Structure 1
């Protein structure tokens, strides 16, 4: 995943969200199926690596495309919907693994259907925001017109005029925005605000992957059937997703994620002090911690994407997720560490979560702000009231309805 995320992030920002998504989803099915025909451990590991390189960016690509097609008032609902589908995927994974316990059969059942994502070439629209950022206005207008026709909406003359008229750069600020499109990564590195934000977001991602996967891995070590335990731990994620849907648009991103990290940190540290005679309490704290970190993980996708500009959104989100893989690399070592110091993994989970919560106090609130298109806009998030243009309200409604 360290290799995959920057590659697919670049493809997404350079050649489009749709291409990155279709490429990732179809390749993971084609390459992953080859594992069933492995003749050695070395071949299996190589195919596993190539499969992950191809498929690790499928969810980020789908998420970025979705939030860019929808209006800001739909972001939380969309994130919750995608989170619930991830839970359904996890439950399906456990059920299929229990049904087809011979690994070759399991692979041949699970992977080939991914090739059906080739149909998305015809059914899925490209991100209108990305098309406009690439000055491909005619393609964006064509998608909007198709959406209007599908929803039986008649565009006003003013809307048509705005869509068909080339934008002219009139002010020095607009010229500066255009210059930011050139040498994007140089602009990013020259922006202390964006670089600091990138470092903070990277720690959030390290924390999420470390705690989320660490708790998931340890779940199969709990008493009882490992498939049932895994499904239980995955199922409680629905609580976190629903919580996000209820509070992210009400109390804001920062307060919600801060609370999630703090609750997770306290729960994990508290497990250390639970007497051996009260395993039910340890399990309860375990599930509370899993719910909290899932809530943080679900919300951090949206919050991170709202902090960075359109031209580099997937690349920077991919960078944060890439660095976050440090957490998922370390997480599987925690059961080994517990052999020597049984309380240390829980303390490490809790400490990283509490640090992440503290860093949440250093970034701006993005509630009720539109997605920034340029680095300058990203630097000034929440510094002043933001207008909801340039996207025409009627146009946004049409696209949202179509999606």
Structure 2
């Protein structure tokens, strides 16, 4: 027997109630599509960490190499290359008698000359391929270029999402990142590599925001926290897959050709992924929304009443007054509340990207196998995701994120005061900071999306994320800074997190509030949370 849908007492349709009834296989299909997109993001969004990783190298000493088979750690290198370490690999000494074979006890000149050739311990990364020895800035620039591409991408794809649909933005991002990213394997120069890296990121940086927004808009209010946790775990799975595949296919060209081309399969989403019903109704496309709802009802054995169908057909589009005449950003500029909220959200995003990616990049510099270290740092993110799932709907968004930022800030600042003899404590604080910033990053996606209206949600979320990329642009340069002042990066990470925590006190709680569809509704969020009994029924 088919389940009969309850009739709404309103003359319009309650989106959250309707979406809750259209669960089952319809919801599972949306979640599966979003999950695969999140795994792809976790797999591909930080490939530069290994593809442009540092490798051990030393100067070539022609007078010695001529008499010996090339040996990276030959005994004579101690005397010929007395200055060891990351900052001292660019000079060498000349043997006093170049006619004799170089030995451990050979005499070398005290004069130091600049290296013009280098010997690399492995050929797995672009450092060897493009001879980037003693050009550390070029290596770290790859990560910065990657994040500049994100900064460019997010407003573009945000506009695409709000203008042409969440589905269109998601498919474009997922497919183009695979198509363009594959071209990196055929790079013939460093310049070509960074150009393709930039274009790849411009094309694919918006995959996760599109998947996240589509999911929370399709699944309704009661599933926001679980959706965020679910997608966060998918990101972790993608990150673990990235490390495992990078360890298996260590040569960078092989790795690219293995992991990027499968992204072209996301073209199948044209047939399998439905568009956001909220977005369709916000654009006045009631027929398209009704078609998706009808198919979902049939899939889940739910009968739509004639009254519900009529309500959908006659549903009013929730638009701002004179919205057709006023552009999106004009409306935003006219709202001091939204402008202030936009600035605060942007700082949260700067903090999240700066600290999150900074800690991830530094993880490969910890003692031990770099692939294992990366997997450890990614794995602890599950703790943050599960914690969010347990507390966001209990103690609220604000309190959860406030605690996360404060714990991250204190942990990172404390690292600077840990003595070298207690490296275990520094590692523990490092992991606590990583867990806390992951919790903040996971929660800020949902919290930001709940603070802005439907018709501008992706554009404003994209703007915050775009500005936030300033943090991820700076993060890859932290290893360079650590060469000169080793404690400064952790203090910078902690300080930005503490400021973000303070700003969390200035925005409204969104627990138990419905997604706002208009700027006016977004402005009134604080009143909605304070007086839930006065809320009018939220309708599509």
Query: Normalised by the size of structure 1, how large is the TM-score?
Result: 0.93
Show the counterpart of 1:389. 538
1:218 has 2:369 as partner: no
1:137 has 2:286 as partner: yes
Kept in 2: contact 1:36–1:107 (CA 8 A): yes
Q: Which runs of 4+ in 1 moved over 6 A?
A: none
CA distance in 1, matches of 2:396, 2:461: 20
- 1:63-212 correspondence runs (5 A): 63-167=212-316, 177-180=320-323, 182-212=326-356
Unaligned ranges ≥5, structure 2: 1-149
Show the counterpart of 1:280. 424
Kept in 2: contact 1:370–1:388 (CA 8 A): no
Kept in 2: contact 1:247–1:256 (CA 8 A): yes
Pairs aligned (count) = 385
Is the deviation greater in 222-231 or in 148-157? 148-157
1:43 has 2:192 as partner: yes
Show the counterpart of 1:308. 452
CA distance in 1, matches of 2:152, 2:512: 34
Kept in 2: contact 1:369–1:382 (CA 8 A): no
Show the counterpart of 1:350. 494
Kept in 1: contact 2:236–2:381 (CA 8 A): yes
Show the counterpart of 2:36. none
Show the counterpart of 2:143. none
139 and 222 in structure 1: CA distance in 2 versus 1, 3 angstrom threshold: same
CA distance in 1, matches of 2:265, 2:327: 37
CA distance in 2, matches of 1:275, 1:387: 58
Show the counterpart of 2:398. 254
Show the counterpart of 2:161. 12
Show the counterpart of 2:510. 366
Please list the CA deviations of residues 245-304 of structure 1 after superposition, one character each: whole Å capped at 9, or x if unmatched. Answer: 000011100000000000000111111121211111110010000000000000000000
Cα offset, 1:167, TM superposition: 3.2
CA distance in 2, matches of 1:249, 1:98: 38
Cα offset, 1:344, TM superposition: 1.2
Unaligned ranges ≥5, structure 1: 169-173, 392-403
1:59 has 2:208 as partner: yes
Cα offset, 1:165, TM superposition: 2.6
Please list the CA deviations of residues 107-143 of structure 1 after superposition, one character each: whole Å capped at 9, or x if unmatched. Answer: 0000000000000000000000000110001100110
CA RMSD of the aligned region, Å?
1.2
Kept in 2: contact 1:214–1:328 (CA 8 A): yes
CA distance in 1, matches of 2:492, 2:316: 52
Of the candidates 376, 388, 391, which is equivalent to residue 232 of structure 1?
Answer: 376
Kept in 1: contact 2:155–2:462 (CA 8 A): yes
CA distance in 2, matches of 1:42, 1:219: 27
CA distance in 1, matches of 2:291, 2:164: 18
Query: Normalised by the size of structure 2, how large is the TM-score?
Result: 0.70
